[in-house]
Amino acid sequence: MTSPRRKTGPSGIAPQRPLEILLIEDTPIEVRRTMRALRQGLTRPRITVVEDGEQALALLRSRTRFRPDVILLDWYLPRKGGREVLDDLKSDQRFRRVPIVVLSISDRQEDIAAAYNGRANAFLTKPADPGQLAKALKLIEIFWTRRLPDDSAAPAGVPSKRMTKPK
């Protein structure tokens, strides 16, 4: 009996699971644009959308099993802005290591510096052209998908079943 083989893509590399993305965006037009661009990616990510920072924090803290692989964070949000959300998440042990990409219409150096000072993983000024937005988000998807743990691997800190103890 042979073991089941993992399906591989054209490159011979086993495909990763889709990214679990939390999109924090208050403008319906920008939500649609971002969703459309993300759907042009490689893995058809699973996307959860919330409209403001307070909703995002409430969602993350109430659903303990929900842990996005990447958070796409608008910088200018009502009720609780992107800067405050970033500070809250990066100071919370449970979310400190979740990558946060700031997506903003802003290209102000003060906003970019504040995001990186708050430990954002990236800052992307949203291009007006939908094709350029799709390309930028595809690069983000490729970058973070390659950093996902392999589905067949054990969780961090847990030895794989394939490993044996030395005798």
pLDDT at 24 over 50: yes
pLDDT at 133 over 80: yes
Q: For residue 93, give Cα distances in angstroms to 79, 88, 98, 147, 155.
A: 23, 10, 10, 20, 18
Residue 149, pLDDT score: 63
What's the CA gap between 49 and 21, in Å, rounded? 8
Q: What is the pTM of this model?
A: 0.78
Instruction: Tell me the mean pLDDT in the region 152-156.
Output: 40
* Domains along the sequence of the chain with CATH: 20-145 (3.40.50.2300)
Residue 64, pLDDT score: 82
| Least-confidence region, from 57-66, 105-114, 142-151 | 142-151
pLDDT at 164 over 80: no
